[in-house]
Amino acid sequence: MNKHDSERIRGMLEGLGMLEAATPEESDVVIFVTCCVRESADTKLYGHVMSLRNMPKREGSPLDERIIAVGGCIGQREGKALSQKMDHVNVVFGTRTIHMLPNLIDEAINGSASSNTSVDEGGKTFQLPIHRDASWAAWLPITFGCDNFCTYCIVPYVRGRESSRELEEVIEEAKGYVSDGVKEITLLGQNVNSYGRDLYGSPKFAEMLDAIDATGIERLRFATSHPKDLSDDVIERFASLGSLMPALHLPVQSGSDRVLSTMNRKYTRDHYLALIDKLREANPDIALSTDVIVGFPGETEEDFLDTLSLIDEVGYHQVFTFIYSKRSGTPAASYPDEVPREIAQDRFDRLLSVVEKRALEANSRDVGAIANVLFEGASKKDQGVLTGKTEKNQTVHVAGSGICPEDMAGKIARVKIEEAKTWYLKGQLL
């Protein structure tokens, strides 16, 4: 969601004649789009902002000083207080006031620190111009906010109550992307499965998938799915919709029923595993990924072993593993029986070794297969290597093709998979 918000900010500011600077030193305005889901992201923001404190303004800058704007979740949570904590922050905006950024920057240029983190402004970001990172891929938000209140999570407090965009409006946006040559659309929401509950006629998420498929888009993905709301209709679409890619991110968080209940996740381990069975019935080759938190307050060794066995049993392509981070204002912040850091770290390390083993096994099954790869350009590490994503969302590197990576960006081509690594594949263009 932050990447999408950043693309809107770039589009909006370019429309006003501003240009993106390559480095903070060369900039007149620096904008931070922040996250506060875990403490580490919070700490990073303060470090980055403080590093700008004594940076001289750009040579030739028409401004009296460099303008620093902080938005996203931390901006929302802190509001004006942020520019009191760090007095060189000139602008604070929130998760629902991105469209106000030009005015806020203008006010700051004219000398007054400005902030607007109102949550009553609605999610108007989608009405803004956009400059996408990749011309062939588009993020498409369908809901804003979250009503689930998992007890560890700050998101409902900083992104507000869940609200859905009108189905027709989303379809129009998708049609526009298809006619612009976009190959892949990723629908976004904190819980896409509850899409439409607040709209007249309660359109279902499965209907949304059908309608986006009908636009002629080549690749369709979505994130994130909450297991309590993943319906049989949606699962069936993995068998029937040509554009829906065979990959699903389905955060489990824990394999212990007791922990799932104190997390307020509203499903059991058995329910989750039954969903996995149904998904594999719909498409036996579907690639699954998940999120796991270790060290949630009260998590015992036995609870953790339940998580470990679930991860081993499912055999994910990718698992995002997190050590529980206490977020003030959430219910879990006051739960007793905090897990000591060393124990949480030990569990994290043990989990990672199972995750890595199973991810390598999952990738290894594709050696010898032919994959359709949407190329993105050059690999970060080697400018001569082409990189892209399979339909299952695996990263693929192709070396020695002799083709300029920029020429392949945005194109789909067939690749023979020759080698599997834990987090990527290697292959040759056919």
Q: Which positions touch ligand SF4 (CB under 6 A)?
A: 146, 148-150, 153, 155-156, 190-191, 226
Residue 311 touches which of ligand SF4, ligand SAH, none (Cβ within 5-8 Å per kind): none
**How many residues of this chain bind ligand SAH (CB under 6 A)?**
17
Residue 183 touches which of ligand SF4, ligand SAH, none (Cβ within 5-8 Å per kind): none
Please pick, from the candidates 91, 130, 137, 293, the single residue that binds ligand SAH as defined by CB under 6 A. 293
Q: Phi and psi at residue 9, in whole multiples of 5°?
A: -60, -45
Tell me: does residue 253 bind ligand SAH (CB under 6 A).
Answer: yes
Q: Which residue has the CB atom at the shortest distance from ligand SAH?
A: 291
CB of 152 to ligand SAH, least distance (A): 4
Please pick, from the candidates 103, 186, 325, 401, the single residue that binds ligand SAH as defined by CB under 6 A. 325
Residue 267 touches which of ligand SF4, ligand SAH, none (Cβ within 5-8 Å per kind): none
CB of 359 to ligand SAH, least distance (A): 17
| 69 closest CA partner among 5, 126, 15 | 5
Residue 125 touches which of ligand SAH, ligand SF4, none (Cβ within 5-8 Å per kind): none
Tell me: does residue 37 bind ligand SAH (CB under 6 A).
Answer: yes
CA 282 to chain centre: 25
> What's at 247, amino acid-wise?
A
Would you say 97 or 190 has its CB closer to ligand SAH?
A: 190
Residue 156 touches which of ligand SAH, ligand SF4, none (Cβ within 5-8 Å per kind): ligand SF4
Structure tokens at 418: 């020759």
Tell me: does residue 322 bind ligand SAH (CB under 6 A).
Answer: yes
d(CA 380, CA 377): 9
Locate the DSSP E strands across 109-257: 114-116, 137-141, 143-144, 163-164, 184-188, 219-223, 247-249
d(CA 350, CA 40): 21
| Count of all residues that appear for the chain in the document | 430
Computed from CA positions of residues 374, 376, 380, 382, in that sequence, does the dihedral angle turn out positive or negative? positive
Cis? peptide before 224, omega within 30° of 0:
yes
d(CA 404, CA 375): 12
Would you say 2 or 309 has its CB closer to ligand SAH?
A: 2
d(CA 208, CA 230): 14
What would the DSSP string read from start to end of 183-230? -EEEEE-TTGGGTTTTSTT---HHHHHHHHHTTT-SEEEEE---GGG-
Tell me: does residue 247 bind ligand SAH (CB under 6 A).
Answer: no
* Site residues, ligand SAH (CB under 6 A): 37-38, 152-153, 155, 190-191, 224, 226, 251, 253, 291, 293, 322, 324-325, 327
